[in-house]
Amino acid sequence: MNNTVIKKEERLDLTPDNSNCGLEMSPFKLLEMAVRSGADIDQLEKLMNLQERHEAKIAKSDFLIAMSKFQNLSPRITKNKEGYGYMYAPLSDIVEQIKEHLFDCGLSYRFEQSHSDKVTITCIVSHVSGHSETNTMTAGADTSGSKNAVQAIGSTVQYLQRYTLIGALGLTTADDDIDGRLPTNCISDQQFAVLDSELNDAEGEFPNFKSKFMKWSGRNSLSEIPADKYEVCLNQLRASLKQRRAKK
């Protein structure tokens, strides 16, 4: 008869003892106990994964608390930049108004960009605890006006950086200015100046001429007129003025 005793594999018991007073042990504490007790690789790997998930959960919770605090502290964004018939807040102004609150809440941001087809900008907002969240937008190069290829890309980059930051931080009050349309192929600054000057002169001669012209154009402002419609609009403006003057 074979009296050989087959010894069962010893498994590490990580059950908390009574010294913990019934409190749930953290994954880190369990991992520490496992290391001291000589746990095998599989056990350590499972505990390390558990610890990573535990830390990620805490980091996300810290991030959400920080975002809530930031949105409570953040002021209404002031629009100091004048566009063609509207006011807006450029990226530099937005950052200036929120940077202290970001720091106080342990938040920071950065941008990543891709120009593979269109321009894609991703705003990454991070908390000191390690959790990050992103907001991404894509648009074509802003070829309006007399921009060269590099300037067209740069204009879109600035636009998308501004709005991805606004979206990522929940700054909804800064998102209501009417320049929120995607860049389009509209008239240049020089073309705008020509139309605006002639309309202002006409307005002095014929009250309400400008409002009637804008109604005819179907646009809310001169800056929305497409570049390929500039000659048509200018010719219509001058023809209308000529007819009115002839009737005097």
* Residue ranges making up the domain that contains 237: 189-246
Domain annotation covers residue 2:
no
Antiparallel, parallel or unpaired: β 107-114 and 119-127? antiparallel
Q: For the chain, how many structural domains are there in total? A: 3
The pLDDT, as a whole number, for residue 23 is 41
Collapsed DSSP state (helix, strand, coil) of residue 148: coil
**Mean pLDDT score, 221-242:** 86
Output the DSSP codes for 108-132: EEEEEEE-SSSEEEEEEEEETTS-E
Question: How far apart (Å, rounded) are the C-alpha atoms in residues 23 and 72?
Answer: 35
CB-CB contact of 159 with 142 (8 Å): yes
Residue 76 lies in a domain: no
Q: Which of 53, 71, 89 is the last residue of a domain?
A: 71
Per-residue pLDDT, averaged over 52-73, amounts to 89
Share of the chain above pLDDT 90, in %: 21
Its pTM stands at 0.55
Say what the pLDDT of residue 206 is: 86
Tell me the mean pLDDT in the region 210-219.
85
pLDDT value of residue 246: 84
